[in-house]
Amino acid sequence: MRVPGWTILCDFDGTISVEDVIDSLLDRFGRPGWEVLEQDWRAGRIGSRECMAGQVDLLQMTRAELDAHLAGIWIDHAFPGFVAKARELGVPIRVVSDGLDHAIQQILARYGLDHLPVAANHLAPARPPKQWQLTSPFQAEGCRSGTCKCACVAQAREGGAKTLLIGDGASDFCAADRVDFVFAKHRLIEHCRAAGIPYVPITGFEDALDLLPRLLDGSLASHAVPALATTSH
């Protein structure tokens, strides 16, 4: 069965993965100073791109240590089934993340999901050994994020497709206002509720798997905000 007309843009850290990858790396390999950058970002003094670039500069790890760490990070157990269902329905999925491309690709590869296209910050080795640097190939002018998810939405809509965003946090706030529908977790639930953005709350991809066919056939729209405005997960 093919249901054309939708594209899924899916966040990675805390949405597909069960934990935030960069936070876990900083906790284990970060040199002093990354917490100050985090505080500056949360206070709005710097954007996420500046924050992430500074934090990556403070990581001290070998490639072997990095990959061993990534091998211990898991994804939502229902995500592979969600990807399979989306493929069956003819709905493309693109991972859009303000995180690290190498981490995303390594983790997805363990589950046979490295065929998914990824838009994320690029992590590369730097000198001296154990040092790393960040570049942002998906940034956009005027956007302080490393990956401009709004630009990803605009690109997805160029062919006339409707867009579904699946996300959980601050990096998804701006894009949520530009898509046709949102499956929201955690902080994104509160943002969508406050902004009146059409969404349903999910706890994970088991919920998303159940909801996707209803989104595509149009029956889910009546259950979005404000009908679920007081629902919490």
The model's pLDDT over 54-110, given as tens digits with 9 standing for 90+, comes to 999 999 999 999 999 999 999 999 999 999 999 999 999 999 999 999 999 999 999
The answer to the question of residue 11 being in a domain is yes
The answer to the question of residue 228 being in a domain is no
CA distance 183 to 213: 13
The answer to the question of residue 107 being in a domain is yes
**93: CATH:** 3.40.50.1000
The answer to the question of residue 229 being in a domain is no
Q: Give Cβ neighbours of residue 28 (< 8 Å, ≥ 6 apart).
A: 61, 69
CA distance 100 to 173: 19
pLDDT bracket for residue 9 (50, 70, 90): very high
Contact 183, 91 (CB under 8 A): no
The answer to the question of residue 230 being in a domain is no
| Count of structural domains, the chain | 1
pLDDT of residue 14: 96
* Percent helix, percent strand, percent coil in the chain, to nearest 5: 40, 20, 40
The answer to the question of residue 231 being in a domain is no
Residue 74 structural domain: 6-223
Task: Record the pTM.
Answer: 0.92
The answer to the question of residue 232 being in a domain is no
The answer to the question of residue 202 being in a domain is yes
The mean pLDDT value of the chain amounts to 93
